[in-house]
Structure 1
Amino acid sequence: MDTFFCAEESRQAGEDPIGTADTYKMYVLLECPTPWTETAINSKFIPDNLRILYKEIAQTELSVRLLLIYNERLYQKGSTKCIIYNKSQEVSANYIKHEFEVSHIQDVAPVLKQYFIDGNIHSKIINTQTRDILVCTHGSNDKCCAKYGNPFYRQALATVADLSLTHVRIWQVSHFGGHRFAPTVIDFPEARYYARLDQNSFFSILTQTGNTEYLNQCFKNNYRGWGILPEPAQVLERELILLYGWDWFNYKLINYHLLAQNETGNYHRIEISFVKPNNYLIRVQADVVEDESKVIYLIGECNGTELEKTPQFTVKNIIYV
């Protein structure tokens, strides 16, 4: 199995990545130099107090994902950044960013503990508007993220530099799931997940440019979903991108509802409401159903051994209400 790469298996099988974005309410991105161990929290630069906090979070019902990030060009000795992306109470809003700096990584845990209690950051706050793009390069967790993630990360750095996008930061990130979609990416503050990006699709997403044919190809092949929405609604939202094109990203999401579903999870009736820039409200309902004609079986990870059913979903019966 040394020659087996789960990302190549997924690609050759034609797996549609839509509906695989995580839906955490909060992401904590901790600056930590590589290398990272298979379980990132056990990496050598992580202090014990952070490991303890990580275990405490895991034992609660907090919807928090702790990830390690690193960019050697941004890293400064004697300083550790921590970026919190917290889901807004408003359905339509992006994640809200809180960024702070401490002099030593060991100082992060007490600041985070207090933040979880009262929502306040008792440290040096960094107030900058940024777009943080996370590229999984965590090869010790899954070799696909090294084989595909590392080259893409280096190319993404060059692309952003060539475009002089000073507000865009590219980070290596520890495992967040979906290594079979490597190179896989999260784009904050929107928390949109992407799969199998190359520099052409990355440029298009970064700049929101490209003709209708290319947009359709990009979002059909490379879009995992919008982390603000539950998985079935992610499938319908992708359909709306294909319908409205780049204009969709100028519309304001108002709400989403799960109107009906069956016990087996292969049928969902979804409603999404949104407003155009002219304040015109639109409500769309549709069925998100498993496409039985496209069922595939995948091992799913490089260290796996068992084939598992990987359902593929499609959108039917769209109506405007």
Structure 2
Amino acid sequence: MTTTGRFFCADAARTRGDSIVGTAPHGTAWVLIEYRGGWPADGFDGLDLEPGTKALVFAAARAARARVLLVRRHGRHVPQGPPRWAVLCYDATGAHRQHWGTWERDEDLAQIVQALGTPGEPGGRPVVLVCAHGLHDACCAVRGRPVARALSERRPELVWECTHVGGDRFAANVVVVPDGVYYGNLDAGSAVTVVEEHLAGRIRAEHLRGYTDLFPPQQAAVAAVLDRFGPAGRHDYAVARTVRDDDGWQIRVTGRPPGPAAADGEADAEIGIEAEAEVEAEVEVDVVAEIDVEVRARRTPQNRLTCRGPATSSAVVYDAVPIRPG
């Protein structure tokens, strides 16, 4: 997707081969506000809302370290009913918490403040967010909207376009919340595959930017395990230990089937599986794998990383070196 005479950061990033691993912003809570008008370049911050309510929501979101995103359904049809808002929170047990409400007056958004302070209902369907914030970065619109269209045709009840999620050069970006999983470098075809696989409990390393409850080196370690042993569910792996050393990080990842043991017939020898067998009529094996990953960080040369201006900056890349038994 190249346009002669105009710089597009996503085109440049693909030409350079920029790594997407370990680039998911850290966070475990999201505030979604359906806004059907034009989105300002700075999203929620730029909305002309009642000042007191806006300040309350902003302060509560900041205290909860929640990302505030404006959302809308894809397409030009007129939505039915009042706009919605949501507070979605990641839960390491998988029982993700959700609050949903509606608003018609600016003051109605004050409900978000209370929602941020209470647990919310467990479960609920995941939300698939596609960054299509063209005023923030052109690539988000050029690459994001075709992805939003393709996903909306397949899963209209789950998919929303949203404002800036970070990583413009990795457009099209898709975030599944409250799972807290970032995907990048997507097009219409790959996005449908990635989301369907995600919903079926098969997260693959390809297109994965990272899990938002983990810090970048930990995201890189989990991505390396997925790349080595194949797809797994959102909670099939956990980071058990992270040790900083002079050269990087030593990170231990633990998992159960459908993790490394199920994906590799030689896993016993390679990663040191500890198994306990309980024999009744049949043998049932509870497999626990421990995988140690070494992660190193390096800086790239100065490059233009967004479409918004000529300024250049350096990015940090996280490399996971060979996995060894725990």
TM-score range (shorter-chain normalised) is 0.7 to 0.9
Query: For the structure 1 residues 101 and 178, does the alpha-carbon distance in structure 2 shift closer, same or farther, using more than 3 Å as the test?
Result: same
Query: What CA distance in whole angstroms lies between the structure 2 residues aligned with 1:304 and 1:95?
Result: 42
Give the corresponding residue for 2:268: none
Give the corresponding residue for 2:135: 140
Query: What CA distance in whole angstroms lies between the structure 1 residues aligned with 2:95 and 2:320?
Result: 27
Asked whether the 8 Å contact 1:9–1:298 carries over to 2, the reply is no
- Give the superposition deviation at 1:75: 6.9
Q: 1:84 aligns to what SS in structure 2? A: strand
Asked whether the 8 Å contact 1:251–1:276 carries over to 2, the reply is no
TM-score by length of 2: 0.79
Query: What CA distance in whole angstroms lies between the structure 2 residues aligned with 1:75 and 1:56?
Result: 32
1:193 aligns with 2:196: no
User: What is the root-mean-square deviation of aligned Cα atoms in Å?
Assistant: 3.1
Query: For the structure 1 residues 157 and 300, does the alpha-carbon distance in structure 2 shift closer, same or farther, using more than 3 Å as the test?
Result: same
Query: For the structure 1 residues 2 and 32, does the alpha-carbon distance in structure 2 shift closer, same or farther, using more than 3 Å as the test?
Result: farther
- Give the superposition deviation at 1:19: 0.5
Give the corresponding residue for 2:70: 68
Asked whether the 8 Å contact 1:271–1:286 carries over to 2, the reply is yes
| Structure of higher CA gyration radius | 2
- Give the superposition deviation at 1:249: 2.0
- Give the superposition deviation at 1:96: 1.6
What 5-or-longer segments of structure 2 have no aligned partner?
Answer: 259-284
1:267 aligns with 2:256: no
- Give the superposition deviation at 1:204: 2.2
- Give the superposition deviation at 1:143: 1.3
- Give the superposition deviation at 1:95: 6.9
Query: What CA distance in whole angstroms lies between the structure 1 residues aligned with 2:114 and 2:135?
Result: 32
1:231 aligns with 2:224: no
Query: For the structure 1 residues 254 and 150, does the alpha-carbon distance in structure 2 shift closer, same or farther, using more than 3 Å as the test?
Result: closer
Query: For the structure 1 residues 307 and 45, does the alpha-carbon distance in structure 2 shift closer, same or farther, using more than 3 Å as the test?
Result: closer
Query: For the structure 1 residues 188 and 42, does the alpha-carbon distance in structure 2 shift closer, same or farther, using more than 3 Å as the test?
Result: closer
| 1:171 maps to amino acid | W
Give the alignment of 1:293-308 within 5 angstroms: 295-308=300-313
More divergent stretch after superposition (142-151 vs 12-21): 142-151
| Identity percentage of aligned residues | 20
Give the corresponding residue for 2:167: 178
What 5-or-longer segments of structure 1 have no aligned partner?
Answer: 210-214
Query: For the structure 1 residues 172 and 45, does the alpha-carbon distance in structure 2 shift closer, same or farther, using more than 3 Å as the test?
Result: farther
- Give the superposition deviation at 1:225: 0.9
TM-score by length of 1: 0.80
Query: For the structure 1 residues 57 and 305, does the alpha-carbon distance in structure 2 shift closer, same or farther, using more than 3 Å as the test?
Result: farther
Query: What CA distance in whole angstroms lies between the structure 2 residues aligned with 1:84 and 1:195?
Result: 23
Query: For the structure 1 residues 274 and 297, does the alpha-carbon distance in structure 2 shift closer, same or farther, using more than 3 Å as the test?
Result: same
Query: What CA distance in whole angstroms lies between the structure 1 residues aligned with 2:71 and 2:230?
Result: 32
Query: What CA distance in whole angstroms lies between the structure 2 residues aligned with 1:299 and 1:63?
Result: 28
CA deviations over 1:121-152 (Å, ceiling 9, x no partner): 7xxx8x88323111111111111111111222
Query: What CA distance in whole angstroms lies between the structure 2 residues aligned with 1:312 and 1:219?
Result: 16
Give the alignment of 1:47-66 within 5 angstroms: 47-57=50-60, 61-66=63-68
Query: For the structure 1 residues 311 and 151, does the alpha-carbon distance in structure 2 shift closer, same or farther, using more than 3 Å as the test?
Result: same
